[in-house]
Structure 1
Amino acid sequence: MSKYSSELKSQIVSEYLAGNPTAELSNNYHVSKKRINKWVQLFRMNGSQALKRRRHKRVFTQD
C-alpha cells in the first residue's frame, strides 16, 4: 500500500509547476523535499501516469 495517494502527488506536482517552492510544499504537506523532487522528475519524464499506483505485481519471464 502506498503512503501517499496519487491525487496528493498530482496536487503537489501541479503546485510545484505553478511556481511554489519545494521547501514551502514540504512544510505544508509534511513530505520530504527529495520525494517531491522525485515526483516532479517522474511526472516530467512519464506524465501523470507515473504518479499512479500500480495495482498488480509485474511478472517477468526467464527469456
Structure 2
Amino acid sequence: MRMQAAELFALGHDSAAVAGQLCVSVRSVQRWHQAWEHGGGQPWSRRNARLKAFIDTHD
C-alpha cells in the first residue's frame, strides 16, 4: 500500500486524494508522505526513490 502511495505522491496527488484512493486515514498518508520526502527509508523501494529523484529534478 505504501508503494502505491509513493507512486501517487510522485504523480502529485495530495494526502487526502491518496487516502481516499487507498481507503486509509489521511494521517497515515501524511506520515508516509513525510517519510517519502525525507528519503524514504525502509518503506520505499529503489523504484520509488528514483521517482522522487525525478520529481526533485523537475520542480
Q: TM-score, normalised by structure 1?
A: 0.53
C-alpha distance in structure 2 between counterparts of 1:22 and 1:46, whole Å = 17
Report how many residues are paired.
44
Whether the aligned pair in 1 keeps the contact of 2:15 and 2:33 (CA below 8 Å) is no
Gaps of 5+ in 1: 1-7, 53-63
Consecutive unaligned residues in structure 2, runs of 5 or more: 45-59
- The Cα of 1:39 is off from its aligned counterpart by 0.7
Greater helix proportion: 2
User: Aligned with 2:42: secondary structure?
Assistant: helix
Under a length normalisation based on structure 2, what TM-score does the superposition of the two structures give? Answer: 0.56
- The DSSP-based 3-state class of the residue aligned with 1:31 is coil
Q: Which runs of 4+ in 1 moved over 4 A?
A: none
Per-residue displacement from partner, 1:22-43 (whole Å, max 9, x unpaired)? Answer: 2122111111111111011112
Alignment root-mean-square deviation, CA: 1.8
Amino-acid identity (%)? 18
Aligned partner of 2:34 among 38, 41, 45 = 41
Find the counterpart in structure 1 of residue 51 from structure 2.
none
